[in-house]
Amino acid sequence: MKKLLPILLIFTLFCGCARGAGEDEVTHIDVPPLSETMVVGETSETVETLPETEPAPVEKRYSFLAAGDNIIHSAIYEDALARATEDSPKYNFLPMYDGIKDFIAAADITFINQETVMAGEKYGISGYPNFNSPQEAGDTLVELGFDIVNIANNHMLDKKEAGYVDTIEYWKSKPVLLIGGYLSQDDYDDVRVYEHEGIRIAFLSYTYGTNGMYLNSGSERIVPWIEDKDIIRQCAIAKERADLVFASIHWGVENSNTVSSEQKRVAQLFCDNGVDVIIGHHPHVVQEMGWLFSEVSGKNTLCIYSLGNMINTMYNSYNMVGGMVTFDIVQSPEGELSIETPMFNPTMCHYSMNRDGLQMYMLEDYTDELVEAHGSQLHGAFTLDTLKGYVTKYVAAEFLPEFLK
């Protein structure tokens, strides 16, 4: 009997531990998995663990802006010299662009054709006909936010081969993508690519000529002439390297609003070889823009035949009106790219009767008072309606802002 007492005591203690207050007996306890139960104080709640999911793909849009011929005539750099400040002790070009700088800054990717050489002061600063502009004018374009700078145009050899090379070296020292200047054949076929948010855009560049000037005999440097074989070869390289292909081209007839047959032929060559956008310049006036279609690829190409001028002091009012073309690069949720909503946004270059006081404006902001004060009145009167007509006569209404419709 004494041997049974310890056993009975242990059994009694065990049963007592298994009882709750007011309960007769606990026969089973369910304990949820720890990963599914959160205990807070005296309450508990069940939290469901959901599998991780990728966010649904959405459409993405990136704005592109292209500006025309930026021509630094002698009157412009003399005006910049007169505007010198402590911050810009020699040449002060930046205020000249105040009227358009916000429009430029609003774009995600920006392009400009820099018409004049920037080889450095050792060549002598000069204007028309053989330009060498202060490099401070180039610094201004960088400060304005231009991303891609083209130098393939008829003035690119104004300071001969040495000036061409030094202009290339200047732009290569800046945070821009330089196109149109090439030190060798390999450099020429190393097609330039600009990347934005994972989208790669290849940029090709060509010019019709260089004002009768040529590279030294045996030179390794390359002037990118408009040659069909080069265009076809480089379009193939560009399509291998990038998602989109844009072509900058200096072509057409100066002061002519009419697109030439050669412009149309080359534009279709670009289109048939997969170019998505053609950015044209050189005529110094506005020409038409529109969509080309390729029966070869079944694709459309946006073609801007001439953007006209940016800053300049040419004499005629029609040279004062240019444009900045904008459009959207659209990436669909499936990753396909397209060019949409192209728009010709007209600009106006102003200077006084003394050919100073240089100022760029959006044409929408230009006034009757400014028209009366414009220096090119010396070469024929014009009105706001005249200026608007230089655009509306040649650019289709579908590409124009509301104030011109």
| 49 occurs within a structural domain | no
Paired tokens of 304: 């801007």
Model pTM?
Answer: 0.87
What is the model's pLDDT at position 49? 64
Cα–Cα dist 316/330, whole Å: 38
Along the 405 residues of the chain, how does pLDDT read in single tens digits?
Answer: 444 434 333 333 333 434 444 444 444 445 444 444 344 444 445 556 666 777 888 999 999 999 999 999 999 999 999 999 998 899 999 999 999 999 999 999 999 999 999 999 999 999 999 999 999 999 999 999 999 999 999 999 999 999 999 999 999 999 999 999 999 999 999 999 999 999 999 999 999 999 999 999 999 999 999 999 999 999 999 999 999 999 999 999 999 999 999 999 999 999 999 999 999 999 999 999 999 999 998 999 999 999 999 999 999 999 999 999 999 999 999 999 999 999 999 999 999 999 999 999 999 999 999 999 999 988 889 999 999 999 999 999 999 999 999
CA 362 – CA 153 distance, rounded (Å): 25
Q: Give per-residue pLDDT as tens, 213-247.
A: 999 999 999 999 999 999 999 999 999 999 999 99
Measured in residues, the chain has a length of 405
**314 half-sphere exposure, CB direction, 13 A CA radius:** 23
Q: Which domain holds residue 240?
A: 60-139+150-404
Which candidate, 189, 337, 215, places its Cα nearest to that of 274? 337
The CATH number given to whatever domain includes residue 290 is 3.60.21
pLDDT tens-digit series, residues 35-91: 443 444 444 455 566 667 778 889 999 999 999 999 999 999 999 999 999 988 999
Residue 43: inside a domain: no
For residue 346, cis peptide bond before it (omega within 30 degrees of 0): no
**Domain-embedded: residue 286:** yes
Residue 195 lies in a domain: yes
Q: Is residue 35 part of a domain?
A: no
Read off the amino acid at residue 105: A
Tokens in use for 166? Answer: 């030094």
Q: Is residue 9 part of a domain?
A: no
Distance CA 186, CA 289 (A): 33
Tracing tokens 């070469």 back to the chain, one arrives at 379
What was the pLDDT predicted at 28? 46
Residue 53 lies in a domain: no
Residue 288 domain-assigned (yes or no): yes
Using DSSP bridges, classify how beta strands 244-250 and 277-281 pair: parallel, antiparallel or unpaired: parallel
- The count of structural domains within the chain is 1
